[in-house]
Structure 1
Amino acid sequence: MSPRMIAVLAATAALAGCGAAQRHADPPRTSDPPAANHDAARPARATAARAGQIPPLLDPHDVYAAGRPGRLAQQVRHDPPRVYVPNSKSDTVDVIDQRTAKIVDHFPVGALPQHVTPSWDLRTLWVTNDLGNSLTPIDPRTGRHGRPVPVLDPYNMYFTADGRHAIVVAEAHRELDFRTPHTMRLTKALYVPGCHGVDHMDFTASGTRALVSCEFNGRMIVVDLRRERVVKTIVLSAGAMPQDVKLSPDGRTFYVADMATGGVWLIDAHRMTKERFQPTGRGAHGLYPSRDSRVLYVSNRNEGTITLISFRTRRPFRKWRIPGG
């Protein structure tokens, strides 16, 4: 499984934790909370990723090819099949056995856990405790959680495709914080004052640029990951609320969910220009590619539906209604 699939796994595992959790006002930038013993906080037997280079795609025409059945990386092949669900209201994580669909563990974490993000080397799962100013590490081999690592305002979290950096999305501080991938030491705080509600992102097929959503002012920003700077701003529309971001399998198009407008924006991934808007349903929020890279699932959470978009035609072809959804 390639680092490209990390974002997909993170979104799937965190689906129940995204919700309409409380969002905080912009406080002044402060330093991280007092440092803890980061080595102790990491799960047992965690190993360093062979970072530094972007792994080649298994299929140059499909950035998600490593997500096919039977293509799990060797180091995770024997991990127990579990789903880790952050509960923002109770500050806990539920662990679900995928085979039985039963909760097999439940444990407390920091305040307002938002997402669960796999590390670049797939050896650690990080729970982003937004108001708790910490990350809780989980060892996916054992399911055991470790001591929290102090990190300022971790609403969301990603790893660069070359594994050199963790990027903590510090939403309330309007920052993208570049950190070392194991100790989470801050190396650069990229201030993005023009991006209100910096939220979600995805990477180009080359892994060198990121498209980042700005939820509260209807914009997207493009970040050059090598230079660690914003290089472009894309204005969507008045009143837009961009959420999740996903690259098409062929690497040509970004899809951006818009919760306020009720659909997805299509962005040219090479020119980084807006192409068009595609309606899907009220409250379009999460985006998930199918395992065969043919379909994009769009969760329309304000109407309890899922829209299926064909990656080939770039048009919706079906809508599922979720009872009680």
Structure 2
Amino acid sequence: MPTLTRRIRRTAATAVAVAVAAGSALTLTGTAPAHAHTGPRAATSSTVTSAQLTAGLYQSAYSERNRVLWATSAVGRPPVTRSSLLKVDPGTLQVQAAYTPPVTDAATGAVEAVYGIAVDDEHNTVWTTNTRNDTVAVYSQRDGRHLATLPGVAHAREIVVDERRNLAWASSFGDGTVVAFDTRTYKEKKRVTVAGTQPAGLALNERTGTVYAADLGGDRIVEVSPYAKEPRLIPTGDGPISVALSADGRTAYTADQAAGALSVVDLRKGAVTRTVPTGAGALSVAADRRSGNVLVANRAAGHVTVVDPRKGAVVETLATGANPNHVTIVRGTAFVMDKSAVGPERQDQAHRIRVGR
């Protein structure tokens, strides 16, 4: 890991910033304990704080360098004319700035709408997937300026950044491909296609540089290792759409949308070791390295479940707004974007969850 990033991460390691920002309107919808507790560790007592942000929320990513939560939003079907990249205070859930993607069609007002997101703290940028445009884009974290649009990613869904190796990996759902771009030059570096797959969610092993893609249509994980000549296919649950890794990189977790469950996958053995029902429409998964627990956003069920993967049990169920869409975790604090449209202007909500132990 480069020296600058190491130094920044050490200073940010104790807490998520709670600086108050002026400007954008904020509607807090309250702080509440989880609405249900189940299983052997029912005393975890997580709390959920919620705020209305904007319509069309999709995903979020946390910048340790800037202590900022970045989020994407896009409203409606093409031509999409409302989309923004949001800079959010992680402590107050207040929008500090909103940046509009570039216009792609002057006649309709369509913009290069943003959906998936990842941050590159080494180069102080934000990477987004522009699903409707079959591209990915790069923005400055400093001022939100659009830096580049990179074509050739069919129905681009998710993106992860490997800061050690200066790579950004995107899932090309439309043609069974994962694509790597150089985060310094923005040039394409690698393209791996597995016929018949539908790569959706992505996870990165930062130590090895191996990328894992959830194959939604094939009930598999696609493993792309820099040390292997061919990708490896690992079976998982029914309809995997999101994937996360354990802290040691030996275990993968998939949110299985069709099954409404979490699969725990031993990557060395290439086999599912546990299947844990979490709720209808499991859509996004993230691992808490502090506790070892895993959070799953269950869109159709309208809640987030905390799973102890070692025991194969749900230990807590967390109330969010309807249609939770994405979850990311920063040292015991989870951020969930929903698509509840509960605000007076149909705003969706962000939720900050202090995950109990």
The TM-score with structure 2 as length reference comes to: 0.63
Q: How many residues align?
A: 260
Cα deviation for residue 324 of structure 1 reads 4.1
1:266, 1:274 within 8 Å by CA — same for their partners in 2? yes
What's the CA shift string for 1:182-237, capped at 9, x where partnerless? 22212332111131x2112223474243332111232222222234631x223335
Query: Residue type matched to 1:243 in 2?
Result: I
Range that drifts further, 301-310 or 113-122 = 113-122
> Once superposed, what is the RMSD of the aligned Cα atoms?
3.3
Alignment partner, residue 116 of structure 1: 117
Q: Which residue of 2 aligns with 1:190?
A: 192
How far does residue 251 in structure 1 lie from its aligned partner after superposition?
Answer: 3.2
Amino acid at match of 1:176: V
Q: Is 1:93 matched up with 2:85?
A: yes
Aligned-partner Cα distance in 1 for 2:138–2:168: 14
Q: Structure 1 residues 127, 212: closer, same or farther in 2, change over 3 A? A: closer
CA contact 1:85–1:95 (8 Å) conserved in 2 = no
Native 8 Å contact 2:250 2:267 kept in 1: yes
Residues 267, 290 of structure 1: CA spacing in aligned structure 2 closer, same or farther, 3 A cutoff? closer
1:95 and 1:78, CA in 2 relative to 1: closer, same or farther beyond 3 A?
closer
| Counterparts of 2:209 and 2:269, CA distance in 1 | 14
2:127 partner amino acid? W
Q: Give the counterpart of 1:155 among 148, 154, 157.
A: 157
CA distance in 2, matches of 1:101, 1:297: 20
For 2:98, the equivalent position in structure 1 comes to: 106
1:20-48 Cα deviation digits (max 9, x unpaired): xxxxxxxxxxxxxxxxxxxxxxxxxxxxx
> What secondary structure is seen at the aligned counterpart in 1 of 2:116?
strand
Higher strand share: 2
Alignment of structure 1 residues 205-284 onto 2, 5 Å:
206-227=207-228, 229-230=230-231, 232-236=232-236, 240-284=238-282
Partner of 1:286: 284
Contact 2:236 2:254 in 1 (8 A): no
Q: Deviations over 1:269-315 (max 9, x none)?
A: 22222223211111111112336234211111111111111255342
Quote the offset at 1:267 in angstroms: 0.6
Relative distance call for 1:205 and 1:314 in structure 2 (3 A) is farther
Deviation beyond 4 Å, 4+ runs, structure 1 = 64-68
Higher RCO, 1 vs 2 (CA within 8 Å, ≥6 residues apart): 2
Task: State the alpha-carbon separation in 2 of the partners of residues 148 and 277 from structure 1.
Answer: 41
User: 1:19-30, aligned counterparts within 5 Å?
Assistant: none
Q: Answer yes or no: is 1:69 the counterpart of 2:70.
A: no
CA gap 1:68/1:77 in 2 versus in 1, 3 angstroms: closer
Alpha carbons of structure 1 residues 204 and 273: separation in structure 2 relative to 1, 3 Å: farther
* Distance of aligned partners of 1:185 and 1:270 in 2 relative to their CA distance in 1, 3 Å threshold: same
For 2:64 and 2:146, how far apart are their aligned partners in 1?
22
Q: How far, CA to CA, are the matches of 2:206 and 2:119 in structure 1? A: 19
CA pair 121-263 structure 1, distance change in 2 beyond 3 A: same
Q: Secondary structure at the match of 1:131?
A: helix
- Amino acid in the other structure paired with 1:108: T
Q: CA deviation at 1:80?
A: 5.4
TM-score by length of 1: 0.68
Residue 323 (structure 1) shift: 4.8
Do the aligned partners of residues 234 and 132 (structure 1) sit closer, same or farther apart at CA in structure 2, a change above 3 Å counting?
same
What is the CA–CA distance in structure 2 between the aligned matches of 1:213 and 1:137, rounded to whole Å? Answer: 23
Residues 143, 82 of structure 1: CA spacing in aligned structure 2 closer, same or farther, 3 A cutoff? farther
Give me the whole-angstrom Cα distance separating, in 2, the residues matched to 1:152 and 1:87.
21
Q: Is the 8 A contact 2:216 2:241 kept in 1?
A: yes
Any unmatched runs of 5+ in structure 2? 18-62, 77-81, 102-110, 324-357
The equivalent of 1:43 in structure 2 is: none
Shift of 1:256: 0.7
Show structure 1 runs of 5+ residues with no match: 3-48, 57-63
Aligned residue among 59, 65, 70 for 1:83: 70
CA gap 1:143/1:312 in 2 versus in 1, 3 angstroms:
farther
AA partner of residue 93 (structure 1): L
How do 1:170-181 and structure 2 match up within 5 A? Answer: 170-181=172-183
Say if 1:254 and 1:266, in contact at 8 Å, map to a contact too: yes
The one-letter amino acid of 1:182's match is R
The 8 Å contact of residues 86 and 115 in structure 1, kept in 2 or not, is answered as no
Describe the shift of the 1:118–1:205 C-alpha distance in structure 2 as closer, same or farther (beyond 3 A): closer
